[in-house]
């Protein structure tokens, strides 16, 4: 195993205790620090694994509930409408999407935890997630840009069902 030299600045009392412990154990201060760091990293990994198991237990029922909608949706609009009918919606988050509870606006999980990743959905629906209806001031055009496919035309504001397009 390759090792790297690291400079560690410690307050005097902590260094004295580390030296005393190292003498008692017939080890170096480096051995004590490496052991303590390894112990902390194991604890952190264990917490992450436990949290991932907890998330899986929480997400599994939602994944089952939404599996059919995810499989049958034919566009971003269709998927968003289906999700809203079950009490959820998608919201852009980082480089992907999050599933959010409609009531309470609570993030449930990343959309990829439900099945197909963002890239697969983007390919299937013919373009990126719209991220919300882009409202253009009516005095400029009186239209909202189409959000389900790059090839669709814009619709006049008064012809849009806001329950479907209000991402």
pLDDT bucket at 21, cuts 50 / 70 / 90: very high
For 95-140, the pLDDT digits (tens) are 889 999 999 999 998 888 898 888 899 899 999 998 643 333 344 3
Q: How far is CA 34 from CA 27, 30, 69, in A?
A: 11, 6, 50
By residue count, the chain amounts to 167
- Say which residues have a Cβ less than 8 Å from residue 32's Cβ, sequence separation at least 6: 18, 21, 22, 25
Closest to 62 in 3D by CA, of 97, 17, 107: 107
Q: What is the pLDDT of residue 69?
A: 95
Which residues are paired to 99 by β-bridges? Answer: 90, 109
pTM of the model: 0.50
Domain boundaries, the chain: 12-135
Give the relative orientation of helices 29-72 and 12-25 as an angle to the nearest 10 degrees: 100
Which of 133, 123, 119 shows the shortest CA–CA distance to 80?
133
pLDDT in tens, 35-75: 998 888 887 877 777 666 656 778 889 999 999 999 999 99
Predicted confidence (pLDDT) at residue 89 exceeds the cutoff of 50:
yes
Instruction: Classify 93 as helix, strand or coil.
Output: strand
The set of residues, in sequence order, having a beta carbon less than 8 Å from that of 35 and lying 6+ positions away, is none
Pair type for strands 88-93 and 96-101: antiparallel
> What does the angle CA 110 – CA 114 – CA 118 come to, to the nearest 5 degrees?
60
């Amino acid at each position: 195993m390759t090792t790297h030299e690291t400079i560690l600045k410690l307050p005097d009392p902590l260094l004295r205790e580390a030296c005393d412990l190292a003498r008692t154990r017939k080890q170096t201060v480096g051995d004590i620090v490496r052991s303590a760091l390894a112990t902390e990293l194991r604890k952190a990994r264990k917490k992450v694994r436990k949290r991932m198991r907890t998330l899986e237990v929480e997400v599994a029922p939602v994944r089952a509930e939404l599996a059919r909608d995810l499989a049958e949706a034919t566009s971003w609009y269709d998927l968003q409408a289906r999700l809203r009918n079950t009490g959820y919606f998608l919201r852009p988050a980082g480089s992907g999407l999050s599933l959010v509870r409609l009531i309470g606006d609570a993030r449930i999980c990343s959309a990829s935890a439900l099945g197909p990743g963002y890239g697969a959905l983007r390919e299937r629906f013919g373009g990126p997630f719209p991220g919300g209806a882009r409202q253009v001031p009516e005095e400029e055009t009186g239209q909202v840009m189409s959000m389900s496919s790059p090839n669709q035309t814009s619709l006049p504001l008064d012809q849009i069902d806001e329950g479907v397009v209000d991402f």
